[in-house]
Amino acid sequence: MSLLIKNGHVVTSADSYVADVLCTDGKIAAIGHNLSAPVGDEVFDATGQYVFPGFIDPHVHIYLPFMGTFAKDDYSSGSRAALVGGTTTLIEMCCPSREEDPVEGFELWLSKAQGVSACDYTFHMAVSRFDDTTEAKLRSIVDRGIASFKVFLAYKDFFGLNDTELFQTLALAKELGVIVTAHCENETLVAELQKRLIAEGKTGPEWHEPSRPVEIEAAGVHHLLAFAEATGAHCYVVHTSCEPAVRAAQEAQWRGVKVWVETVIPYLTLDSSHAELPDFEGAKHVMSPPIRSSEHQEFLWNALRTRSISTVATDHAPFDFAGQKDMGRDDFTQIPNGLPSVEDRVNLLYTYGVKRGRIDLHTFVDVASTQAAKLFGLFPRKGTVALGSDADLVVYDPTYRGKISAATHHMAADYNPHEGWEIEGRPSLVTVRGHVQVRDGEFVGEMGHGRFLKRECTH
């Protein structure tokens, strides 16, 4: 079966040209002019629209037992929402707690996606404990196609590692060529500041940010990268929210440490005033690290433009406002941390990045697709429009105008942190390995079409 996309403006991280793209048997089979499809197969006229490689979200949580509850999406809602928003590959954090067995955890996370997901998927394997049995277990998980680990310097006693375990994890990663993704915040300092604020009666969501100030995040980055330097491991700092944290990574790069930086769409669009909204509405914007004041936002956009930041993910972690976020109504430390945004990342980045002149189209594709593919062992199968690549394509209509709303989104959360935000463009057609999964903002495809992506270690 073939699909021919005619006359689209193909944009990759490096190139920009008008062409036809022929997809056959799940792969890109031809790119050129005046191509034709076999009789009876679909021809889609993309005149006036962009053709982007399928977008990759390198940091999502779908199945997430966390802070006494579970994130709201499953692969049925989460993968559909991702696809409607143009994301064709999800890299989920597989996060068993310290008490759980990593191999059993991996099987559990895999089972949630297998046969259900509508888009392709893989996992970063969290290392939440390192004991005498861990190395062999991690080796077996890597053999099954997992090329990246995840470590938490925060959430001590649940996901967090102590320093000896961190060293052991990074040393093993170096030996295996695995890249280590890391949540960087100094948890001891967070816990002390939380205690002090609560004791002073500062219990509302607006105190979440002051309990995790920028210096605590930068200290986490610095700490991680001292271990990266000592072991030689390659690291990727997830959800970087502020200037001091990016600068800590840059300083390490100048020392020769191999480190890449991710930011996430809420940090580029929202600011700390959202956590100060009255009537506990601020809880809708509680995530960690916290959403910062607006000067950090401009710094992040500039760091993206100059590629000091390599990727824009979501850290999608959806919790309902009613029944979940309100667990912390009397104590902000009990508000489940996380925001839903897997559906809106691409449209927000296009509208508030490309259309507002902050980044160009190539940077947009690079940070939302290509870099993730390169860093995590998926390139050139994913992340580009090229002969032989998977036919994961997003035909993008730049004339579309609409508004984000929980009333129309496909994510399971009962609110949207970007409620009412205008978007200036959206996918009109989304394919996963040549199969049309989305047309004009609606999922029209096949659940269970998504595949687990086995990856090679490339670091």
Binding residues (CB under 6 A) for ligand URP: these are 61, 183, 239, 287-288, 315, 317, 337-338
Could you say which of ligand URP, Zn ion, none residue 429 binds, taking C-beta under 5 to 8 angstroms by partner kind? none
Could you say which of Zn ion, ligand URP, none residue 58 binds, taking C-beta under 5 to 8 angstroms by partner kind? none
Contact (Cβ atoms closer than 8 angstroms) between residue 39 and residue 3: no
Could you say which of Zn ion, ligand URP, none residue 9 binds, taking C-beta under 5 to 8 angstroms by partner kind? none
Could you say which of ligand URP, Zn ion, none residue 337 binds, taking C-beta under 5 to 8 angstroms by partner kind? ligand URP
Question: Do β-strands 120-126 and 148-152 pair in parallel, antiparallel, or remain unpaired?
Answer: parallel
**Min. distance of Cβ 59 from ligand URP in angstroms?**
7
Alpha carbons 430 and 88: distance in angstroms, whole number = 8
Q: Which is nearer to ligand URP, 48 or 323 (CB)?
A: 323
**Min. distance of Cβ 4 from Zn ion in angstroms?**
38
DSSP three-state, residue 266: helix
**Crossing angle (nearest 10°) for helices 187-199 and 214-231:** 160
Q: Which is nearer to ligand URP, 238 or 359 (CB)?
A: 238
C-beta nearest to ligand URP: residue: 337
9 binds Zn ion (CB under 5 A): no
Instruction: Tell me which H or E stretch contains 88.
Output: strand 87-94
Q: Which is nearer to ligand URP, 54 or 266 (CB)?
A: 266
Q: Which is nearer to ligand URP, 28 or 242 (CB)?
A: 242
**Min. distance of Cβ 236 from Zn ion in angstroms?**
12
Instruction: Tell me the backbone φ, ψ of residue 307, rounded to 5 degrees.
Output: 65, 25
The amino acid present at 315, given as its one-letter code, is D
Query: 165-194 mask for Zn ion (x: CB under 5 A)?
Result: ------------------x-----------
Instruction: Tell me which H or E stretch contains 197.
Output: helix 187-199
| DSSP per position, 137-181 | HHHHHHHTT--EEEEESSSTTTT---HHHHHHHHHHHHHHT-EEE
**Min. distance of Cβ 154 from ligand URP in angstroms?**
7
**Min. distance of Cβ 288 from Zn ion in angstroms?**
6
**Min. distance of Cβ 231 from ligand URP in angstroms?**
23
Alpha carbons 392 and 433: distance in angstroms, whole number = 5
Alpha carbons 268 and 241: distance in angstroms, whole number = 9
Q: How far is CA 176 from the centre of its chain?
A: 24
- The tokens for 134 are 């861990």
315 binds Zn ion (CB under 5 A): yes
Alpha carbons 93 and 109: distance in angstroms, whole number = 9
- The tokens for 268 are 């580029």
Q: Which residues pair with 2 in a beta bridge?
A: 24
Q: Which is nearer to Zn ion, 155 or 421 (CB)?
A: 155
Q: Which is nearer to ligand URP, 271 or 315 (CB)?
A: 315
Q: Please list, in sequence order, all residues whose beta carbon lies within 8 angstroms of the beta carbon of residue 323, skipping any fewer than 6 positions away.
A: none
**Min. distance of Cβ 157 from Zn ion in angstroms?**
16
Q: Which is nearer to ligand URP, 325 or 409 (CB)?
A: 325
Alpha carbons 369 and 215: distance in angstroms, whole number = 30
**Min. distance of Cβ 208 from ligand URP in angstroms?**
10
Name the residues that contact Zn ion, by CB under 5 A: 183, 315
